[in-house]
Structure 1
């Protein structure tokens, strides 16, 4: 059975889409009725290896070949035969003036034209190279357009990345040249690992007293390591072995002997590149002079150590001085107590004499009465003697409590009661020229205080007040 649509032969998936579509209500009608010009143009498009579009008729009905399919993205299922302005609605404003020029006979070609479109990769910025040319029917009228199109996004992106990479490379070269001129970079090296060929630039060679020509031809790693300080060689070799195995960035500081015979600190910075199978390929890098930086760091560390030592000594000195001041303060408080005790002694001596005289007199009277056999008065004299002894003991107890050293022992205290108990002691201490008046506040709360310390403070205040009134007062 013959094919009713032979012009679709060789069209692949695109031709299958034409056969599968229902054209009964389409403005172009069934494919069997299409004009010969359309059939011929469409056969050319379907069999082209290039990415081609045929836009037919005044409504620009959209036909495409199999090569064009990946460019349609989400439009693929419904684009065949649809109007151009619907298929590429997001690019119609940009395409419309180009199409109008083509219909007017002004065919044009565009290279790497940017276009933001929805593709099979989603909406993205894309680039295209395409040309528009008109298709004439048998009578010379413009019946449609051939559009040869190729997406060049990958090429444009690659070219852009290349330009950016070249710009970065130029900047890096300028930086290296400036660093070399300033003396920050001693030199550069390149180590071809598979061939074990170690080449250096002229600056590198001259810094180490090497022949620049030999540096270009290639040195052995042993020749380079020969200039490394003996104490740093083992560490350098271990660092090199490690980075060659693992690949990636490399940085290591060590001392080397320069052309003047002196050892200087430098830092080697480089990178080891591996092949996809893990084989080490290359090891480029630069040598940076860090001798001055190391000297500054050493001086900083020395200053930090000295400051730390000074701080620790200062803390010890402050602690010792504080302890000394506390001891002096305690001694001062005790001396103030003893001064008060000395002042009390003079005032209390007379009282003790009177109390002792009373005790002695009572005992003598008791002896006389007992000798006379008069026992009825003995009890009265005994009570008088005991009362005098108790009063003497109370004065002695207060004097000892005031003068002894003791730690703080705060406890709830009735201040009115404490002051009342101190009144007699204070009166005798300040002397008869000073009038003492005690005015205790009613309903006074108890306070948390060390009673002996409060008594000491109260007595010192009274003594200071007495000394401020040499002519007496109240």
Structure 2
């Protein structure tokens, strides 16, 4: 190639473009040798080459393209081949946009554009870029326009930064009012898709253990193929890609058919219509949970802003989804709690109605002994029912707060089942159920609290009986494994809806199982079962095929291997009422409660004195020296603890039997009562039979 640099000294000097200009065969170029160029072209080229601002010149009817070093960075791999070529050949991909602007300049009209977006092809890929530039006509030697002079700056980085900020604001505004997880993902996917002008944005949930992902939803540009609802294998898309996602790193692939990591798996991408992609992972607890991907149907060079917007969308979306789920769970919990409180009010009002009616009837017919006996029986049954409701509430509260201590010892689960069946048999019989037991021949021993284990099995059997129509079948099976004892309670009752099975053991959830509350109860049994089983190191689960398909509850407890010597239980002889009557003092500021309790004790042959104030009770006890003092704790002038301490200091009352009666039944309340000098602690409403046995027992011991 002939060197024509001597023909034009302005090509001398530093710079890559000058070096290229010196090497061009200008004889073959429409511009001809530089020495023959018109002075106007020479002047503008000289100005351009000596500038540090990106510039180009397009000269003559064919708009031959010349540029400087700073513009060469915009050219990418079009440099140096673009020097001396026709403008429309150099920038053919954007010529339909540029041609009218160039025509205006050649007609003598200047133009200015700020942040004009163009899809340009450089570095072997098509990419979106923005430019601020002006086209100015340059006079030729004949007096007309000889060419175009352009000063240009690429503003892609600034525009993308503003777009990311605008996208962040738009996304925040869009997601702020949404409360549904589905709506959040849909709105965020659409926002990202439109901002990045991709063909598809999809959200996939990953089952990393199975190596699959489920495409929950996708947003599509017009004409794009939906893949929502499909399940795909992770490894079908390249182990290196998935490994990077598992490590928590986003990945951008400009061309899945040539990328070293994705090309061997091109068929999987082709089946989804993917030519280029950006994927952002969600990793929690070291596991890949979800993937957000945006796809182009053709190869595309991704900018940092594309990846940043995808990451921003993923982070904000997942945060919004978690918040929406938490708020939804809170709303659902509050709703269940409200339903529970309404049910609790209903359950408490039910026994109050017959109690109120019975009391009024007794007042009207006090001389009718048979009617009084029958109404008293009604009151006793309803009070026991109300006491059971309150005990259930307190029991589940203590257990769920971890305030229960297990008295653990080796237990044969067959004995536990026998005790539970004994308790539930009246309900089974009342509903005419057929109860079948299938127990193993070998010992099924666990380490646990006998009372609590009986409570667990009883609750499961009660639950089965309550929700199985009359004449149904309840079956209890037990099996042993080397490390477990498995108990199943199976019924052919009303079943459990699939959406309820995941939370049937939660507090307040069971009230939804059926609108039929004819069996009563607060629906706390299964929550109590779950907590007690967990305290024993076991697990409980349920299964039902749906409405009217019955239910199966499975209980798994660790098997106790060592078989210790059988321990003979301590026998507690039943104490019958003694012949001797006792002098008993009752102190309770609830006058009705004190009077009724006094009447009960008097009916058993005891001498009873009643006071409603602590100081009056202390004075009476000092004078009368009762053998037994029954004291309320919540007294107005001096609480029962202090009264008990003072009574112990009275000469002659050192051995008196002190019984605390209170509405507080926590273990801490019991310990405080014993520390104050009480011998017994009873929770209101008082179990009358138990109180009479305590009094009778004191009479027996006092006579020894």
TM bucket (normalised to shorter chain) is 0.3 to 0.5
* TM-score, scaled to structure 2: 0.27
Larger radius of gyration: 1
Considering fraction of residues, name the structure with more helix: 1
* TM-score, scaled to structure 1: 0.39
